[in-house]
Amino acid sequence: MQNYEDRCHHQQLKKTLPFVNLPSFNGDSDPNVYLGREAKVKQTFNVYEVEEDQKVKLASPKFEDYPMQWWHQTIMDIGLNKMSTMLSWNDLKLCMHMQFVPPHYRKELLLKLQRLHQGSRSVDEYFKDLEVTLTKINMHESEESMIARFVSGLR
């Protein structure tokens, strides 16, 4: 039987999960919904300085409907050694990206980027659309390339 000091020491060693309010995810078929949720969760983790080993534990209970079923199957597959052990937040994001963002999505965004012009929008609206599209593609251009792309799309 543990004495009082041992129990206190054990409780101090055991990490508690911080309370963070994360958005739920129901597997909406729109990749923008998934990517928006991923960005929101990342921002929340940064604000609350959530440690890497706690991120999956905090994010996975927010899965609903199909993502919850998918997650349970993934955990079972890990337990049965059908897939490598998923330990990190980055591993989970990669698996979710493969599951909930179709391969053609990036191609569609690249085509959108090629065709992006100001049109009848204000310069500010056009610039925001350009920035959002580049962010979704996860494309990091040099400042010179970004300026050239922006100027070529102006009317």
What pLDDT does 86 receive? 63
Residues 31 and 96 in one domain: yes
Residues 95 and 109 in one domain: no
Q: What contacts 66, CB < 8 A, 6 or more positions away? A: 26, 27
Residues 82 and 130 in one domain: no
Residues 62 and 136 in one domain: no
Q: Which of the listed residues 64, 79, 100 is the one where a domain comes to its end?
A: 100
What are the Cα distances from residue 54, in Å, to 82, 88, 92, 112, 121?
24, 9, 12, 37, 43
Residues 23 and 92 in one domain: yes
Predicted confidence pLDDT, tens digits, the chain (155 residues) = 555 555 554 454 445 667 888 999 998 889 988 888 999 999 999 999 999 989 999 999 999 999 999 999 988 887 777 666 666 899 899 889 889 999 899 899 999 999 999 999 999 999 999 988 988 887 778 889 888 989 999 98
What pLDDT does 3 receive? 58
Residues 86 and 124 in one domain: no
Residues 96 and 52 in one domain: yes
What pLDDT does 75 receive? 85
Domain that holds residue 60: 4-100
What pLDDT does 2 receive? 54
Q: How many domains does the chain have?
A: 2
Residues 51 and 28 in one domain: yes
Give all strands (DSSP E) within the chain, no chain letters. none
Look at the block and give the residue holding tokens 């580049």.
134
Residues 40 and 92 in one domain: yes
Look at the block and give the residue holding tokens 């209970």.
61
Residues 126 and 141 in one domain: yes
